[in-house]
Amino acid sequence: RITPRSLMLSKLHIPTIEEQKLIGKIFESLDHTITLHEEKKRQLECLKSALLQKMFADKSGYPVVRFEGFDKAWEERKLKDVVEKQIKGKAQLEKLAPGEVEYLDTSRLNGGQAILTNGLKDVTLDDILILWDGSKAGTVYHGFEGALGSTLKAYRTSANSKFVYQYLKRHQDNIYNNYRTPNIPHVQKDFLNVFTISVPVSDEQEKIGSFFKQLDDTIALHQRKLDLLKEQKKGFLQKMFV
């Protein structure tokens, strides 16, 4: 442990007042920029959360907010009605050799480093991925292609996949709470048969899917900027102090 006395007796390397001020200003500016990006990202995430509630139909069949030109009621269907193909992940990293196909597991889907293997590319960028086992079973992803890991499944849809993904994302907590087995979390086997989805006409699906994709891309851009700024600050801290 560090005692107050040992801390007070610790020796520090201190530059002149002028250099202290300049260093302080640099890090003050960096911290301010980081805070601005964090706040902007938070605001965008709050905006998306609010729009997900208003731009998808409730039990009435009509959303609160719509794009101009659309007024028909949404149709309620079972998820299986808009899924053309279900793909079970089979890839296991320990059995794969280096290659050119990304191995897709929860680490990669949550922003981890890409691992290129000789696995079979069985999912495309348009497929919706869902974690089937584990503590976060039921989490949905979109926009990845590669060899699907053994704890994941993929849905290839007849409806607009960006729309279906955002619909599932809107109901993420509902999936966690009502469509998983107890104890060891596992998405229930009849998920496609029992989960309902409200679907508008294809043009409205396209507009909604593209709108939220653009919003997600903007949020991701702010996250990348944040990561870069934090790395820059870390590098400066290591190089500008003795």
CATH code 3.90.220.20 for 75-199: yes
What is the homologous superfamily of the domain 14-68+202-242 according to CATH?
Answer: Bipartite methylase S protein (1.10.287.1120)
Task: Say what the pLDDT of residue 48 is.
Answer: 96
- Read off the pLDDT of residues 11-55 as tens digits, 9 standing for 90 and up: 888 999 999 999 999 999 999 999 999 999 999 999 999 999 999
Task: Say what the pLDDT of residue 25 is.
Answer: 95
In the chain, domain spans: 14-68+202-242, 75-199
Task: Say what the pLDDT of residue 58 is.
Answer: 86
What is the mean pLDDT, run by run of 10 residues, along the chain of 242 residues?
88 91 95 95 96 92 95 96 96 95 95 94 97 94 96 97 97 95 90 97 97 96 94 94 83
β-pairing, 140-142 vs 128-131, is antiparallel
Task: Say what the pLDDT of residue 90 is.
Answer: 95
C-alpha closest to that of 141 among 153, 159, 158: 153
